[in-house]
Structure 1
Amino acid sequence: MCKGLSGIPSSCLERAKGMRVKLSHLAEKQEWVYKHRATEEKAPQDLESLLSSKPGIQAFRGFLRSEFSEENLEFWLACEDYKSTSGSRLAARAQNIFKQFVDPDAPREVNLDSETREALVGLMEEPAADTFLQAQRRIFSLMAKDSFPRFLRSSYSQQPLRVL
């Protein structure tokens, strides 16, 4: 005859209750993941598409940080921001970008060829909205040919990107 739960030691009953609570939390989490999977996407297969989304930038930044080379992305983003800088602030913003990324003693110096660097030095006298355009293109090309292919092979691109 079945004695029911009264025949089971109380310590086993307490553990069973704890397991039931943990399983219910796990089931809720799994349900949340299933519901939100529709809002996740894989990493784009080209750098331009990746850089057009916040989740893409975050994933690429994490990868570059792991390689100690995020200065290229930070420079590219600073140049994007610079393009929309108002005329009265152009000179100050240009100097800031130059000191941070281009100057030979810059704390986060990017790898620019001497021709591009010298052209940029000449443009710094009277900065315009397109002052960094050539340098930004060089860095984009460098990331597209070097960092981005490694990113695609990394675990950073294998995980779904959260769309915020």
Structure 2
Amino acid sequence: MCRGLDALPITCLERAKELKALFGSLLHKSEQSITGQAKKNDKLSRLNVDEPLKWKESFDKLLSSQNGLCLFRAFLVSEFSEENIAFYLACEDYQATKSSKQASKAKRIYDEFIATDAPREINLDHLTKAITKENMEHPGQSCFDLAQAKIYTLMEKDCYPRFLKSSTYLEVSRKTKTY
């Protein structure tokens, strides 16, 4: 699935294609239910069919939807900025980690995303990097909070509006409006 920290970008792209097909299929089921052929699945179909429209309501609603997150991640891969959502999700995972394992996980996240010349370096200002580096001396639950908040804001203000204008999102939402 797309959600995992170690998910390969190609997997997410494949999942995005599957989602487009899935929403097309759900729309077809919804159309059948309108004509009375599939009334049992009507409520479930409508819930799923309306999902892409909810993503436009807020960035949080997009991220809280597994399908929305996967399509958004595929979009970021296409823009060569997938490291932002990967970092955000790594931080979410880190916050749920037991304190006994946090130090090693913190180092891995720092080395992968924040350190100078990190393989998936995210775009942080000097002050945020310095604070995060200082937090690494005694990594705790909130070690990456500032950096995560900066990346969240970057995605919300920059990437999310472009996602809502992307051909993939527009195609999926246009299909849902038809029904």
- Equivalent pair of 2:27/2:45 in contact (CA under 8 Å): no
Tell me by how many angstroms 1:156 deviates: 2.5
Distance 1:64-1:30 versus aligned 2 partners, 3 A rule: closer
> What is the alpha-carbon root mean square deviation over aligned residues?
2.3
**Unaligned regions of 5+ residues in structure 2, if any?**
1-24, 34-43
Partner of 1:83: 95
Q: What TM-score do the two structures reach when normalised by structure 1? A: 0.75
Q: Which has the higher helix share?
A: 2
Q: 2:113 aligns with which of 101, 104, 120?
A: 101
Distance of 2:87 and 2:61 partners within structure 1: 18
* 1:53 and 2:75 are equivalent in the alignment: no
Tell me by how many angstroms 1:33 deviates: 6.1
Aligned length: 135
28-37 vs 68-77, which moves further: 28-37
Partner of 2:160: 148
Partner of 2:125: 113
- Equivalent pair of 1:62/1:156 in contact (CA under 8 Å): no
Partner of 1:3: none
Between the two structures, name the one with larger relative contact order (CA 8 Å, sep ≥ 6): 1
Distance of 1:145 and 1:119 partners within structure 2: 23
**Unaligned regions of 5+ residues in structure 1, if any?**
1-27
Distance of 2:27 and 2:135 partners within structure 1: 55
